[in-house]
Chain A
Amino acid sequence: QQQVKQSPQSLIVQKGGISIINCAYENTAFDYFPWYQQFPGKGPALLIAIRPDVSEKKEGRFTISFNKSAKQFSLHIMDSQPGDSATYFCAASLNSGYALNFGKGTSLLVTP
C-alpha cells in the first residue's frame, strides 16, 4: 500500500517558471516530511524538509507548503532553472528518526 502519493509523474516547465509537485499521505502519525532531489547516476539528496507544526518552510527558491488538515504537502520551485532538472521525491516518516516512505517520484525538466 502506497503510504505517500505523489503527482505529477513528470513535469515540464520553462526557465523562470514555477514548478509545483504535490504529495498526499494517509497516516496522521507521520511527523517528518522531506523532499529529496536525485540527479542521474547519483543517490537522492535532501533538498528541504518540514515538520507538521509549521505550514510553510522556505529555503532559497524552494518552498514546502504543508496542509495538515488535508494531509497534503507540496514543493514549489520558484524561478526554475535548467539545473533543477532532476527527479524529486517526497517522503514521510514516523517518529522522525525512522525509515522513510517515499512517493513514486516526479521527473522535472526545465527547458531553456
Chain B
Amino acid sequence: EADIYQTPRYLVIGTGKKITLECSQTMGHDKMYWYQQDPGMELHLIHYSYGVNSTEKGDLSSESTVSRIRTEHFPLTLESARPSHTSQYLCASQGQRSYEQYFGPGTRLTVT
C-alpha cells in the first residue's frame, strides 16, 4: 500500500474560516496532485506540482492555493471557506519514472 497521508479525514467548519488540508508522502515522489471529488463521484484536477517550488492550477477553477516547499509535503489552503467548497479532496503522488498515481484516503470537507 502506498504511503500517502491526508489529514484531517473529516472536517466541518463555518463559513469564512481559513483551513489547510495536509498531504504528505514518504515515497520521494516529485509529482503531486490535488483532486476535488463531487458527491456524484467525478474527480476534477484543481492543483498539481512537478517538484519543489513548482505549482500549477488544474482544469477546475478553485479558490484554494497550494505550496510545495518540501518534496514530501503538498498542503492545500482555503483562505475563506464557503458552502460551495463542501466536497471531498483527494491528494495523489507519482514517481518521476512511473505512470501510476497513488491516492491518499481523502479529506471530506463540510462548510456550514
Contacts of A49 in B (CB 8 A): 99-100
**A104 with B41: CB separation less than 8 A:** yes
Residues of B within 8 Å of A41, CB to CB, are: 105-106
Say whether, besides A99-B33, A102-B43, A107-B41, A44 and B90 are in contact (CB < 8 Å). yes
Give the dominant DSSP class at A's interface.
Answer: strand
A78 to chain B, nearest CB (A): 23
B57 to chain A, nearest CB (A): 11
Inter-chain contact A102/B42, CB cutoff 8 Å:
yes
Mark interface residues in A76-99 (1 if CB within 8 Å of B CB, else 0): 000000000001010001001101
Any chain A CB within 8 A of the CB of B48?
A: yes
Q: Which residues from A are CB-within-8-Å of B105?
A: 41-43
Which residues of chain B come closer than 8 Å to A97, judged between CB atoms? Answer: 31, 94, 96-99
For residue B99, which residues in chain A have a CB less than 8 angstroms away from its CB?
32, 34, 49, 93, 96-97
A97 to B103, CA, bound (A): 15
30 residue pairs bridging A and B, Cβ less than 8 Å apart: A32-B99, A34-B99, A41-B105, A41-B106, A42-B105, A42-B106, A43-B4, A43-B106, A44-B90, A44-B103, A46-B100, A49-B99, A49-B100, A89-B41, A96-B99, A97-B94, A97-B96, A97-B97, A97-B99, A99-B45, A99-B48, A100-B45, A100-B101, A102-B35, A104-B41, A104-B42, A105-B41, A105-B42, A105-B43, A107-B41
Residues of A at the B interface (CB closer than 8 Å) are: 32, 34, 36, 41-46, 49, 87, 89, 93, 96-97, 99-100, 102, 104-105, 107
